[in-house]
Structure 1
Amino acid sequence: MTYQNYSLKQLQQIDALYHLHPFTDHKELRAVGSRIITHAEGPYIYDSEGAEILDGMAGLWCVNVGYGREELAEAAYKQMKELPYYNSFFKCSTPTPVLLAKRLAEIAPKNVNQVFFGSSGSEANDTALRLVRYYWTLEGKPEKNRIISRKNAYHGSTVAGTSLGGMDAMHKQLGGAVPNIVHVMMPYAYELALPGESDHDFGLRAAKAVEDAILEAGTENVAAFIGEPIMGAGGVKIPPMSYWPEVQRICRKYDVLLMLDEVITGYGRTGEWFAAQSFGIEPDTITTAKALTSGYQPLSALLVGDRIAATLVEKGGEFAHGYTYAGHPVACAVALANLDIIEKEGLVERVKTDTGPYFAKALQERIAGHPLVGEVRSFGLMGAIEIVKNKATKERFAPAGSAAVVVRDHAIANGMMLRATGDSMILSPPLIWTRATIDSACDRIAKALDLAAKDLHKT
């Protein structure tokens, strides 16, 4: 029996009875019922009532090549017939992870040439944490086990990922974080810059917070600094261009490893294969997932720099870590086909030279002037719209985050899928968006803002 045999109400009832959703108030969801997405094509998703919705979130930051790609379905089908599964334990491998590892090394920063596979970004960050601490133990410095992260960062939902992240709501539910992880300020100038402080100077000051944390802990105790090149789930917080080169300089000065979380930014979103290349840095680890397969299969890849890999190979013995589905042959086959599409259609270059600049221009010219908008910001094909009550003072609506939800709900009702995070409206669309798609998105967002303004000014 397929879902077509059920009415929307029946599906919602079954969903409420049996399905616990991620990041969801289940009591609230069960009161209103879930939206049932049934199919998708190109940049659009469709619900069970037939509504067409322009997907401004690429699913959940991942569907870079858009929906309905037969090449990816065919790659999965072919691999399932040939070899649906085998593990990477016991000195075994299968062809697709072998070829994918090589492909990733070819597009990664030049100092990164080894790959460890998993099934999610959370797993990749868990692995990165474990590998970095093990590296320092192998180097005879087990006391170097402290990790510096940032407030409002997101690095996954596992215990280690939540601990690495800096989201208070997640920490409150954790019941005890992984020890020796500290969090410093995020590089978000709109909220944290001093009066008259330039973006360049703010970027250097935000980087100095990393240096101060290293010195406070003692350089002999700090293993690594971890950060998202652009903070994603925290609201698409884009650092000044001065920030990352200075963070890298600081890490190298104090012999601290640099861990980059590119689960969201990897595979073309910033106009390069990796945001590390956009910011001109060479991290020691890069965690990736999501757009690696455009979400068509669950797969993550931890890209490991030569320094760490050499020590692991020469001194590490057995690395007692791994996952049942690491290097899953079907997922890796889909990833290879996905990378082929991105390369063949020139999506990375298109974001860099065409749609990315046009996206930024459209947001500035068509959205930034709205009375509810305090700031628009974008980099490549990811961006955010900051919702405020007062543009001049940056005063927010109370309670925090409530206004963005009003805008989001109007956007979805008018055929535009956005995500509300705090007071930010987030955009991270498929890389197949064109200038015409961007124009259509701005039309829908502008309408949602107008409708939300009427609602918010009633209260």
Structure 2
Amino acid sequence: MALSNLGTAQIQEKDRNYVFHPSTHLAKHSRGETPNRVMAGAEGVYIWDTEGRKSLDGFGGLYCVNMGYGCKEIADAISEQAHELPFSHVYASQSTKAVTLLAEAVVEYFGENMRRVYFGLSGSDANETNIKLVWYYNNILGRPAKKKIISRQRGYHGSGLITGSMTGLAFFHNHFDLPLDIVRHTTTPHWYRQAQEGETEEAFSRRCAAELEALILAEGPETVGAFIGEPVLGTGGIVPPPKGYWVEIQAVLDKYDILLIADEVVTGFGRTGEKFGSHLYGMRPDLVTIAKGLSSAYLPISGSIIGERVWSVLEQGSEKFGPLGHGWTYSGHTLCAAAALANIKVLRERNILEHVRDVGPYWLEQMKSKLEGHPMVGEVRGIGILSAVEFMRDPAKRVPFDVSLQVGVRAAAALLENGVIARAMPHADTLGFAPPLIIKKEEIDIIVDATARAVDTTFKALQGEGSL
């Protein structure tokens, strides 16, 4: 049956009967008790459903539609590649023009001491690759015990076995027998929520580094292989690091010869106003995880960018033991590579970095102007085209709402009624925003005004219930 012949109700019924959705209450969905919006089309920063309801996508899908919907250059590149050569594997030295040129573009775009790119399909599988490489690296160097991975509480690095373990959110651990014992977690770098009374951002950063060092010493530096972190916490609340954080952390890692994995899945390719978040915060990663912004989600593709320090040891390993035994069928997928290559070309030709540097500060200024001081707003934060509004029962004393009230979820629902999509973040009562990087100031104004109205609506509803 053609899709055009199916009504919304028919699609929803089939969806309830056949689709296994991520991060969904399965029983309620099957019974039709959860919203089941069926998306149908999109253009620019807007997306609409089969019933004609149009929304400004304030979260860019899942932080990923960076070049916006309907980018002709990317769509045309996909079509041309599909007709010419839709797929060819890259095992055993075989390659394609698309994947070769993409690897060159990625290495040159990141710069510094990066050497090679290993391509996959998702940020999760890229991080799986990174951890295997950390273990291989230390085995080749004769350090078989140096395998533990340190992540941060509230960090997000995927939902596989090792990647879900590195993720510091209980939602991704509960009832899955995670985290695996080889992973440890250290302090969340969120000054607003974690700082002690009177502690400056700089002092808090020093304490984060001291707590990391204490953990390393407790575990034994000879057992710790890598530290993984997002330049800006993403799913854990869209939290830029406190002042001096990455400089302090890097010093500890250097002291104990621990590799740094920068998870740039959210922050890469211009999201922060720099090419990568690592550049913005002075990080010196050995491995870099990329995905989302690599192709603006037009096709699934990820990558592990390998630095000189690691690459030289990988080559040593091959000289000694032969081919490195790691691969996915769709590593370096031809069609996905063509999409990503076109995406990077658009990113450059449209001067997206300059655009983000122009509109990003404007957005944060407007959000702070309209929302700071509201009786249930604790913090307004952001960097580049990333922003978050965190709600508190008592903002001055930093007392959160009872989780049962689902304040963040209710605020997101009220915002959707105002025509804007945002994400209720899973850790706390926080609205997250990460629209396409092409967003204009007038569209930012729409988000800010709609958010202010939604917060007021939610606040009044809580007052009416006696929940404040």
8 A contact 1:109–1:282 mirrored in 2? no
Counterpart of 1:359, as a letter, is: W
Distance (Å, rounded) in 2 between the aligned partners of 1:306 and 1:386: 40
Counterpart of 1:340, as a letter, is: K
Q: 1:61 aligns with which of 56, 60, 63?
A: 63
User: For 1:173-203, what per-residue CA distance to the aligned partner results, in whole angstroms no more than 9, with x for missing partners?
Assistant: 2224433110011100111101111111111
Corresponding residue number in structure 2 for 1:384: 388
Distance (Å, rounded) in 2 between the aligned partners of 1:69 and 1:400: 41
Counterpart of 1:4, as a letter, is: S
Distance (Å, rounded) in 1 between the aligned partners of 2:423 and 2:356: 21
Corresponding residue number in structure 2 for 1:124: 126
Distance (Å, rounded) in 1 between the aligned partners of 2:184 and 2:167: 10
Write out aligned runs for 1:214-229 (5 A): 214-229=216-231
- 2:216 is the counterpart of 1:210: no
Write out aligned runs for 1:409-420 (5 A): 409-420=413-424
Secondary structure in 2 aligned to 1:259?
strand
Q: 1:302 aligns with which of 301, 304, 309?
A: 304
Counterpart of 1:333, as a letter, is: A
Write out aligned runs for 1:7-406 (5 A): 7-29=7-29, 30-316=32-318, 317-352=322-357, 354-399=358-403, 402-406=406-410
Identity %: 39
- Pairwise CA distance, 1:373: 0.9
Give the alignment's TM-score, normalised by structure 2. 0.96
8 A contact 1:109–1:276 mirrored in 2? no
8 A contact 1:185–1:209 mirrored in 2? yes
Counterpart of 2:9, as a letter, is: K
Corresponding residue number in structure 2 for 1:441: 447
- Pairwise CA distance, 1:167: 1.2
Q: 1:430 aligns with which of 422, 431, 436?
A: 436
User: For 1:70-126, what per-residue CA distance to the aligned partner results, in whole angstroms no more than 9, with x for missing partners?
Assistant: 111110011011111010113211111111111011011401121000000000000
8 A contact 1:117–1:299 mirrored in 2? yes
Counterpart of 2:298, as a letter, is: Y
- Pairwise CA distance, 1:400: 5.4
Counterpart of 2:369, as a letter, is: E
Corresponding residue number in structure 2 for 1:6: 6
Query: 170-179 or 406-415: which moved more?
Result: 170-179
User: For 1:6-63, what per-residue CA distance to the aligned partner results, in whole angstroms no more than 9, with x for missing partners?
Assistant: 2211111111000011111122333134111110000001011111101111110100
Distance (Å, rounded) in 2 between the aligned partners of 1:217 and 1:449: 45
8 A contact 2:140–2:316 mirrored in 1? no
Counterpart of 1:290, as a letter, is: K
8 A contact 1:53–1:417 mirrored in 2? yes
Secondary structure in 2 aligned to 1:277?
helix
Secondary structure in 2 aligned to 1:458?
helix
User: For 1:151-184, what per-residue CA distance to the aligned partner results, in whole angstroms no more than 9, with x for missing partners?
Assistant: 1111101111101111112112222443311001
- Pairwise CA distance, 1:218: 1.2
TM-aligned CA distance change 1:222 to 1:400, over 3 Å? farther
- Pairwise CA distance, 1:248: 0.9
Counterpart of 2:444, as a letter, is: I
Distance (Å, rounded) in 2 between the aligned partners of 1:23 and 1:51: 23
Distance (Å, rounded) in 1 between the aligned partners of 2:397 and 2:3: 50
8 A contact 1:374–1:386 mirrored in 2? yes
Distance (Å, rounded) in 2 between the aligned partners of 1:2 and 1:42: 27
8 A contact 2:164–2:178 mirrored in 1? no
Secondary structure in 2 aligned to 1:183?
strand
Distance (Å, rounded) in 2 between the aligned partners of 1:299 and 1:199: 36
Counterpart of 1:35, as a letter, is: R
Counterpart of 2:232, as a letter, is: I
8 A contact 1:154–1:166 mirrored in 2? yes
Distance (Å, rounded) in 1 between the aligned partners of 2:310 and 2:256: 16
Q: 2:456 aligns with which of 450, 453, 457?
A: 450
TM-aligned CA distance change 1:207 to 1:401, over 3 Å? farther
TM-aligned CA distance change 1:401 to 1:86, over 3 Å? farther
Distance (Å, rounded) in 2 between the aligned partners of 1:128 and 1:255: 17
Counterpart of 1:308, as a letter, is: V
Counterpart of 2:392, as a letter, is: V
Give the alignment's TM-score, normalised by structure 1. 0.98
Name stretches of at least 5 consecutive residues in structure 2 with no aligned partner: none
8 A contact 2:385–2:437 mirrored in 1? yes
Distance (Å, rounded) in 2 between the aligned partners of 1:349 and 1:251: 33
- Pairwise CA distance, 1:443: 1.0
Counterpart of 1:266, as a letter, is: G
Query: 73-82 or 198-207: which moved more?
Result: 198-207
8 A contact 1:372–1:453 mirrored in 2? yes
8 A contact 2:40–2:49 mirrored in 1? yes
8 A contact 2:63–2:292 mirrored in 1? yes
Counterpart of 1:385, as a letter, is: V
The runs of at least 4 consecutive aligned structure 1 residues that moved more than 6 Å come to none
